[in-house]
Structure 1
């Protein structure tokens, strides 16, 4: 069971999330907080595995709260959820230590999938957010890629990660099982010398591992 705490000042929204968790044996809502004041104490009380954090809140912003929480709880997974698609806020949240970023209005089953994915070490992002991240990295001069001996299938799955796809979506895109996706991703981590999908995506973009001539030629 994944323990989840929510920081959001929109009561209607948090009530809807609470209803989503009711009757679901895989998730437990351990705390709902309308602001991020005394965030460390609230986290200590709720003992969550995953925090859903709104960006725009009174007194203390979600981005500041992420910095405060991660400084003391570096292993805690924080999933940002907001109506904002502003690049500055997206990158500020990621730099602060957020593990994923999804938009409000995301379907309930996709929210649950994102929580499970971030808990498992993934970095879920709404597709529109992933595109903004990709656009940003493409606009920055990047060093020449190193050789990591990724197979065609591994590059395909790595591209899916960059595009913000969940493990389930990757399985559907590539017509393989989720267990096979997990196996390929573990091999990708080993070859790239990373420990999470967020690190893998960052390295793929930074070193042009999937947008170089080699990958384009394999399509």
Structure 2
């Protein structure tokens, strides 16, 4: 069972999120908070697995709350759910320690999948957010990591990570077990030194083409 804390200053939004989560047998909404200060207090009392965090709230905002929660309770994973995906909100949220970033216009099934992926240690992003991260990094002329030898299957997995697919979606696309995908991703991180899926996605766009 994944324990979820809902954080949003709009009661109607929280009610909708609660109804969505409570329809899933593997999700349990353990509490709600209407601002960052309350979220920090509730997280201490309720020990959620995932905090679904809004960013713009009165008093202590979501970015400040994310930074304080990740510092005090590193086992708690933060999934941002916000209306705003501009640089002013995206990069501070990631710097504060957010593990994933979705916009509120995401389909309900994508949100539920993102909660599960966040709890499982993945870093889900709305597809357009991931594309913006990649474009910004590629446009910054960053020095590529030293390219090591990757197997054909590792390159296949890496390309699908860059497309924003989850482990389950990659497994279905490649017709392999989810555990096999996890093994490949662990290998990719070890070989490249990337410590999360976003950096793997950035690396995918800087790799030279496969030899023919």
TM norm structure 2: 0.90
1:102 is paired with a residue whose SS is strand
Q: Which runs of 5+ in 2 are unaligned?
A: none
TM norm structure 1: 0.87
Which residue of structure 1 aligns with residue 183 of structure 2?
A: 183
- Equivalent positions of 1:1-219 (< 5 A) are 1-194=1-194, 196-198=195-197, 201-202=198-199, 205=202, 208-213=203-208, 216-218=209-211
The 8 Å contact of residues 55 and 62 in structure 2, kept in 1 or not, is answered as yes
Following TM superposition, the consecutive aligned residue runs of length 4 or more in structure 1 with deviations greater than 6 angstroms are: none
Structure 2: distance between partners of 1:92 and 1:159:
27
Q: Which runs of 5+ in 1 are unaligned?
A: none
Q: CA RMSD in A?
A: 2.0
* 1:39 to 1:21, Cα distance in 2 relative to 1, 3 A: closer
Give the Å deviation of 1:210: 4.4
